[in-house]
Amino acid sequence: MFWNDTKPLKTLPTGPKVALSLFLILAGIGYLLGFLNILLHYQMVDGEAGLSLKDVQITYYGDREKTSMEKAIDASMRGYFATDNDYNATKEWLADGASEKGWDNEIKKIFDNSCNSCHSSAAGVAGVVTESYEDSSNYLAQDTGKSISRLVQVSHTHVLATAPLVFILVLILYMTQFPMKFKSAAAIFSFSAVFLDIGSWWLAKLSPSFAVLVMIGGMCLGLSFGLLALAPLYEMWLKKK
């Protein structure tokens, strides 16, 4: 098998070496973009800048003192309001019990203007519809965090994206001349990190005390991506003969 091949990656011709390196760099950039996406999307969940345990707890377990609608408009949906007045009017409407009369008089117009480009029944971005009063009422119950259907959806896409990518990166690592024990430890660590990363979301949905696992899972996955991408790059370009 190729992993018993004693020829170092360094001795590959320049073409394959450059191609392989570009792939490794792309994988690294992919991870960083994923991380940036999380940072931009979730850091304001608790109303304060910076990713915190509270952001994770509210995202998965929910802010049980708020409705889903209030949580959403205080966090990532906040920026979609055309004006601060629209945001304040919506907050007031929610605080006053979110009546259908208030919806017809004022809120429908605001939502048509600011929200329904994504949340019309036709677009239904993220499965969320806020077109009519009935649609929006679905988000007026206590916030219990990510819905199971959304968790299934996100887990599905993440498993399908990360498992093959990590597998390819692990194969490339096995082509290097690092000690077999190191390579196998890195491979097992990386696949475990995928399990932990995705599994922790489900645990955090069960109890806010598991939110810390989401952070640890994310860090482990970051560490494994860094290791899997950098080790072969180091061997190809930097390691002395």
CB-based contact 77:44 (threshold 8 Å): no
Residue 67 sits at φ, ψ, to 5 deg, of -85, 160
Smallest gap, in angstroms, from Cβ of residue 33 to ligand HEC? 16
Q: Single out the segment in contact with ligand HEC by CB under 6 A; choices: 73-81, 160-168, 176-184, 223-231.
A: 73-81
DSSP letter, residue 143: P
Q: Which two tokens stand for residue 184?
A: 């196998």
Residues of span 21-40 touching ligand HEC by CB under 6 A: none
Nearer to ligand HEC, 119 or 183 (CB): 119
Which residue lies nearer to ligand HEC by CB, 153 or 192? 153
* Contact call for residue 205 and ligand HEC (CB under 6 A): no
Of 64, 76, 12, the residue nearest 38 (C-alpha): 76
Give the one residue of 18, 125, 141, 219 binding ligand HEC; rule: CB under 6 A: 125
- Indicate whether 60 belongs to the interface with ligand HEC (CB under 6 A): no
Cβ–Cβ < 8 Å for 9, 173: no
Total number of residues that touch ligand HEC (CB under 6 A) = 19
Under rule CB under 6 A, residue 98 binds ligand HEC:
no
Residue 189 beta carbon to ligand HEC: minimum distance, rounded to whole angstroms: 28
Distance CA 237, CA 34 (A): 27
Classify 144 as helix, strand or coil.
coil
